[in-house]
Amino acid sequence: MTQTELPYLELTELTQRIQAKQISPVEATEAMLSRIVALDGQLKSYALVMAEEARAAARQAEAEIARGEIKGPLHGAPIAVKDLCWMTGVPTAAGMTIHHDFRPQDTATVVKRLQAAGAIILGKLQLTEGAYVDHHPQIPPPVNPWSAEHWSGASSSGSGVATAAGLCYGSLGSDTGGSIRFPCAAQGLTGVKPTWGRVSRYGVFELAATLDHIGPMTRSAADAAAMLAAIAGADPDDPTALQAPVPDYMAELEGGIAGLRLGIDEAWMGAATDAATQGVLQAALAVLKKLGVEVVPVRFPDTAAVIEDWFPLCGAEVAVAHKATYPARKGEYGSSLSALIELGHGLTGMGYQEIVLRRIDFRGRVAAMFEGIDLLLAPAQGFASPTLAKMATAGEDAALMQALLGYTCPFDMTGSPTITLPGGFTDAGTPIAFQLVGPHLSEAVLCRAGHAFQGATDVHRQHPALG
């Protein structure tokens, strides 16, 4: 295997080779660290590289595997986590200058679980300020490795850039309005936004408590299933984490999707999407039909109110999350996050309750729709691969933000699980993605559907030309 091929292996391909002793965890980790040194000065995906800690974990994994103590499909894989996730004694800034000296006294549950599964943590990945839409003015944003002129995808931008550029074999992201899905769409990755509560939020900096989802960002549905299996499940440190048993996502991957009912709302999918996105949706539908899905016409509930409500609801929850530092240190905040918090401060109790009632109503309508289908086909975003110039004012342009969030934030409002899958490319050669959405706790079906799609296509195996 060449040094060019090694960084772009899928995570599960890498660990199969590691556990067959064809590659060592130390070799894979050193390759990643060397590549980070060579490329990340330009790409800026890492907030912090933990080289010595990663080397120590790699040596430990190598010794365990040599003794036959294999912990599962993540054992020996060098990965990275979004810099929202606490690690004891490790700086965790959440994309903010206010927190640049913060060193947590505990480790996030998701990180503990990845480490227990034998994963090697390379470091902490950069994000937008507080995980909202724009990067802090003093922090350089990660650069899309497919094209420096194109958007890298909002909050989990560092996670997307590092995974796509071959600077880790998988990563953790978070999604409050679309921030697992946007970077995956921007960079040709596969990401799972789990059901709200399927994955513990303990030890993860909060943006908006009832909207935040933590999930994997990877190169394939199999990789996403492997990471999700490690992090999902009940957590005594997070009482909102769901008690439902965690399926064996990996064991269910090969079941195929023949006979699954795929919901299609042509009017909704076409209402706010450009021609490139429509082309990817139709191509994906054709593949899914060949794989045996049964297409079921549906009418998706009207999203206008729930999209509009997302902003003040998110603002109110963000205001609570930042009450210790805002407005006391308002001058240290960027304009987009500050404006969102101010929106939250302006929401009345009655206004908040009206939003809650509309949200419950919408959630019920979506749940009722899923009584008749197993999956829903949806765009990942309305417009394919936006440029940085187009996104420059997104945090302050309500119309642009509504167009961007139209196919993402409704599923944060419902807590529905989604899988984002690469589906094609623009004329400029940048990736375009689509989503499959399921009822609550249907992650196994979503990963299986993604795996089946990727078995019939090769878009997810394309990577940027970085060497």
Q: Which active-site residues does the annotation give?
A: 82, 155, 179
CB 164 within 8 A of CB 189: yes
The DSSP bridge pattern shows strands 294-297 and 418-425 to be unpaired
Helix (H, G, I), strand (E, B) or coil at 391: helix
CB 109 within 8 A of CB 235: yes
Q: Cα separation of 366 and 92, whole Å?
A: 36
CB 3 within 8 A of CB 31: yes
Residue with tokens 């440190």: 237
Look up residue 421 and give its amino acid.
L
Residue with tokens 């309750």: 353
Residue with tokens 């999604």: 175
Q: What share of the chain is helix, strand, coil (3-state, %, to 5)?
A: 45, 15, 45
Q: Cα separation of 77 and 54, whole Å?
A: 10
Give whole-number Cα distances, 27 to 24, 59, 226, in Å: 5, 10, 21
Q: Cα separation of 415 and 211, whole Å?
A: 7
Burial 310-346 (b: 16+ CB within 10 A, else e): bbbbbbbbbbebbeebbeeeeeebbebbbbbbebbee
Peptide bond into 183 cis (omega under 30): no
Residue with tokens 């309005």: 177
Look up residue 112 and give its amino acid.
K
CB 228 within 8 A of CB 252: no
Kindly compute the dihedral angle of the four CA atoms of residues 151, 154, 160, 161, in this order, to the nearest 10 degrees.
Answer: 50
